[in-house]
Amino acid sequence: MTSSTDVVLDTSVIVKGILPPLRRKRDDVYHRQLSLHLKAKELLKKAQNGELTLHEPVIALVETSTVLWRLSKSERIVDIGIRFLETYSVFYSDVYLLEDAMEIGRKTGASGFDVLFLACAKRRGAKLITDDRKMYEKALESGIEAELLRETPSSP
């Protein structure tokens, strides 16, 4: 039996894993977006297969539904994202994360949503995976193990 790896997926990764690139022009930008989509989608599949255990702040539901709606204008896509999170995530309340979130916020100046994801990774000893460079840098600054999606090698 293989063990599961504890991770916090930032909303940027969840959304990129659910939504393929929306760009119509098949240029370098599209191919970079497609590469990120495939990497993120592979992470979601690993969560579904039990290779990853997702630890998420409750606010991930709000942020994911909002971003998916803003990008897709599709209730079906929003429902897919929310169902994925509800099925494969262990959620942590803002109250549980409060002290760590405030400490990280004071130390790094990160945004309110970001500090909750960072605090969740810190409290659970989980790796944060994000495609937000600033969030990635704040994680490292806070002593949190982190991975930047765009800098990870593609899965075979």
Look at residue 142 in the predicted model and tell me its pLDDT. 96
**Stretch 120-146: mean pLDDT, rounded?**
97
For residue 1, the model assigns a pLDDT of: 53
The dihedral through the CA atoms of 95, 13, 145, 112 has a sign that is negative
11 has a pLDDT exceeding 60: yes
Among positive and negative, which fits the CA dihedral 62, 89, 134, 32? negative
Task: Provide mean pLDDT across the span 105-127.
Answer: 96
| pLDDT score at 2 | 67
Residue 24: its pLDDT value, please? 81
> Can you tell me the mean pLDDT for 26-32?
91
For the ranges 27-31, 37-41, 140-144, which has the lowest average pLDDT? 27-31
Average pLDDT of every residue of the chain = 94
Report the percent of the chain where pLDDT is more than 90: 90
Look up residue 9 and give its two tokens.
């997926």
Q: Is the pLDDT of residue 94 over 80?
A: yes
Q: What is the pLDDT of residue 155?
A: 47
* Per-residue pLDDT at 152: 83
Cα(6)–Cα(4) distance, integer angstroms: 7
N-term to C-term CA, the chain:
21
Dihedral (C-alpha) 110, 113, 119, 124: value to the nearest 10 degrees? -140
